[in-house]
Structure 1
Amino acid sequence: MWEDLAQYIINNYANANKIVEVGVGNFHKVALTLKENLNSSIVMTDIKSISKEVIQDDISNPDLKIYEGSSLIYSIRPQPELQPHIIKLAENIGADVIIKPFSTEFINSNKMKLVNYKKATFYKISSK
């Protein structure tokens, strides 16, 4: 399923200058796959920086400099209370947003469109 999400992003954001994953935690597989397959800047953020590759940022009070110029902001299994902050940030900077919730969750936003791509299911808002 993670490979399918990464493949969707690769197929649809091949020309992106920057892509940011919010709340990367310990799961870097999607971001690393994107780094291997895209010429884009791939940025990983989390409230706690567990490695030098992860930028520490609080999505409820984000440092906009980290996200400016992004074509896509995505998050895998973010806590439900963080989802509105991710959506608001993406809207403020003019980026698309993808949120991949837990399989038992749904996004409580009438702005988001459900996308089924191979074995991956996620929600998306296009900025255009």
Structure 2
Amino acid sequence: MWNDFAQYIINNYSNAEKIVEVGAGKFHKVASILEENINSSIVMTDIKPSHGKIIKDDIVNPNLKIYNGSSLIYSIRPQPELMPNLMFVAEKVGADLIIKPFSTDSVHSGKMKLINYKRATFYKVSYK
């Protein structure tokens, strides 16, 4: 499933200058696949960075400079209460937003479109 999720991003954002993952935590498989397959700058953020490649940022009180210039912002399994903040940041910087929720979480936004790509299911909205 993670390869399919990453492949969707590669297929649709290979020309992006910058892609930002919010809430990277300790799971870096998608970012690693992206870094190996596209020339975009892949930026990872988290409120508690697990290693030096992750930039400390709180999406509730974001540093918009981190997100400026990004074509895509994505988040894997964000807490549902953070989804409005993700949408706010994506809209503010004019980026697409992809949210890959836990299978039990729902995304309550009429703006977000459900995408089924191979074995990956996620939500997407464009603010471009």
Bin for the TM-score computed over the shorter chain: over 0.9
Structure 1 consecutive aligned stretches of length 4 or more whose deviation exceeds 3 Å: none
Which residue number corresponds to residue 45 of structure 2? 45
Structure 1 position 106, deviation (Å): 1.3
Which residue number corresponds to residue 15 of structure 1? 15
% identical aligned pairs: 70
- Alpha carbon RMSD of aligned pairs, Å? 0.6
Matched residues in 1 for 2:127 and 2:103: separation? 25
TM-score (norm 2): 0.98
Which residue number corresponds to residue 62 of structure 2? 62
Structure 1 position 104, deviation (Å): 1.3
TM-score (norm 1): 0.98
Matched residues in 1 for 2:26 and 2:88: separation? 24
Matched residues in 2 for 1:59 and 1:52: separation? 18
Matched residues in 2 for 1:75 and 1:25: separation? 10
Gaps of 5+ in 1: none
Matched residues in 2 for 1:99 and 1:124: separation? 6
Aligned AA for 2:39? N
Matched residues in 2 for 1:104 and 1:58: separation? 24
